Amino acid sequence: TKIMVGLPDGRTFDATVVGRDQLTDLTVLKIDAENLNAATFGDSDTLRAGDWVVAMGHALDLKGGPSVTLGIVSARGRTVETTQGSLFDMIQTDAAINDGNSGGPLVNLEGNVVGVNTAMLRQAQGIGFAVSSEVARRIADSLIERGRVVRPLIGLTGADLTLSRANDLNLDSANGIITTNMSRSGPAYKAGIRIGDVITHIDGTPTADMAKFLTVLWTYDVGDIVEIEYVSDDGKHVTSVKLVERPGD
């Protein structure tokens, strides 16, 4: 019912929620303060496995201020299943991330924010995840501008293509997503795509898995027309799909 923000100098402020995005677990807060030093966003697209990163946050809410942990980028483009749903295109790091770290920055050695800590697997050791800065920045800009995130909707859900299904369709590899559910009133169904079809490209860009599929899809705007390459039981097809607005989460 009430959110307070505390600053390092001891001041506290009432905060208002500008907007929140359940899909990425990000929220933008606003406080009535001036002359604050802002962190600088870095380019997460330049990150490579093995790059050093530092996770900051209030781990376990321990007394004495925030803590920092050092690690490397273990992988990019991870999909993480959480109680809130699936998180796509995540940065995986072995920098220790514990309760209280969520919302804290993941920074490179230049001090630039390359991610926002968001998820941990309690059963795992040395595995933490962060939303990339490129995704977080787009989400924050949309929340500030509109109070919500506007995403395009293609009208289907899918899963990573299995090797057995790829063999059934005589595909050379298991790169693609298989449609598992769709709305008959949605853009994809109207364009001829059906459950069981395998989508391999969006506008010529390969969609090797669901993480890549959504990452590419969300670069488009509502109303854009995209060319979808897919494979069904009777061969390869190309169709045009006009994207509509995804309902608010």
* Residues 15-54: tens digit of each pLDDT: 999 999 888 889 999 999 988 988 999 999 899 999 999 9
**Short-list 102, 13, 33, CA closest to 4:** 13
Give the Cα separation of 59 and 101 in Å (integer).
Answer: 5
Q: Which residue has the higher pLDDT, 106 or 96?
A: 106
Per the listing, tokens 């809130």 go with 84
Best-predicted range by mean pLDDT among 116-125, 131-140, 170-179?
131-140
Residues contacting 126, CB < 8 A, separation 6+: 71, 94, 96
Residue 184's φ and ψ, nearest 5 degrees, are -65, -20
- Percentage of the chain beyond pLDDT 70 is 94
Residues contacting 34, CB < 8 A, separation 6+: none
* pLDDT, mean of residues 197-213: 91
In this prediction, residue 223 carries a pLDDT of 94
**Short-list 156, 210, 148, 211, CA closest to 183:** 156
**Short-list 13, 17, 113, 19, CA closest to 57:** 113
